[in-house]
Chains A and B, each alone.
Chain A
Amino acid sequence: MPEVGFVGSRDIAAVFRPLGLEVAEVASAAEAEVALERMAGEGFALVFLEEDLGIELGETLARLKQRSLPVISLVPGVRGSRGTAAAAIRRMVERAVGADILFKGEDG
C-alpha cells in the first residue's frame, strides 16, 4: 500500500501528523535527505517536503525525480512561502516554450 509522507520541521509537523501522513521530523537538510531516500525506497506515492529544505536539496530532488513515484511537492514552511515552486514552474515553461510567455512582467 503506497503512503503519503511529510518531511519537515517539528513546527508544522503537528498539522500533518493527525491526518495520517507518515511524518519525518527533521532538523537539517541532511536528515531530510535521509528521510526522503527512505520514503522513496519504501514506495511512497507522495511526499510533502518543507520548502526551506527543498531549496537546500536541489540535487537530491533532481535525482529522485528520475523515478515516477514518489511525487515530491513543496509546502511552505512556518515562515511562509518563498515562491520556490512557482519559480520552478516558470523555469519549466521557459524550457518547454523556449520563452517566458505566461509570467512576463508579473511577480518578478
Chain B
Amino acid sequence: MLARVNATRMELLKLKNRLKMARRGHKLLKDKRDELMKVFLARVRETRGLRQQVEKRLEAAYRELGLARASMTPGSLDAFVAVPEARLEVAAELANVMSVPIPRLRVEVRGNPHPYGLGQTVAELDTAIREVHTALGSLVGLAEAERAVELLAEEIEKTRRRVNALEYVLIPQLEAAVRDIAMKLSEMERSNASRLMKIKDIVRAR
C-alpha cells in the first residue's frame, strides 16, 4: 500500500522524514517499554513477599477469631463488634509512573478498634483484631502493588504492540518505499541520459 506512491523527489523527501520519525518513535517506545518492565518486575517481586506475609497474618487472625467464637455464646461475638468505634481514614491519589496513573493509598485507623467491654469478651478476639490492625498497612500496600502490577502489565502490552508494529510493519514498509522511489528516480535519470546521448548522435549524423 505504501509502495504505491509517486516517484518524485518531493515524495522521497517526505518518506525519508517519515522514516526518521518512525525510527525515533520506535526508539523512544522501546525505552519506555524497558523502563516500564523494570518498574513492573520490581512491583511483582514486592507483591510476592507481601502476599505471603499478609495471608499468613490474616489466617492467624482468623484462627484466633475462631477460638474466640468457640469460647463465647454463639452470636454474641458479632453483636459485640457490631458498632465500631474506630474510623478508617484513607487518602487516595493517583501517582504517575511512566504516564500510567497508579493509585496510591494510605490508611489510618482513628479511634478505639476494640469497641466492647474487656470483661465480656475473650482475649482471642483482641488478638484477632490486633493482628488485622497491624497487618492493615501491608494489606493496603499489597492492594496497591497488585493494582499497579495490573495497570503496568496492560501498559507494557500496549507499548510492546506499538513497538512491534513500528519495527515489523511501518519501518520496513517505509524503507521499501524509499528504496523503490530511489531506484525509480535513478532509472529515470539513466533513461534520460541515454535519451540525450541518442539525440546527440542523431543531431551529429545530420
Contacts and interface: CB of A to CB of B under 8 A. Distances in A.
22 contacts: A3-B88, A14-B77, A15-B65, A17-B82, A18-B81, A18-B86, A18-B115, A18-B129, A19-B86, A20-B86, A45-B105, A48-B139, A69-B103, A73-B139, A73-B142, A73-B143, A75-B58, A76-B55, A76-B59, A86-B51, A93-B153, A96-B157
A99 to B, nearest CB: 12
Contacts of B88: 3-4, 19-21
A78 B128 CA distance: 13
A19 B152 contact: no
Interface residues of B, number: 62
A102 B41 contact: yes
Interface residues of A, number: 41
B110 A20 contact: yes
Contacts, number: 134
Interface of A: 1-4, 10-21, 45-46, 48, 65, 68-69, 71-73, 75-76, 78, 80-81, 85-86, 88-89, 92-93, 95-98, 102
A16 B160 CA distance: 41
A81 B113 contact: no
B15 interface: no
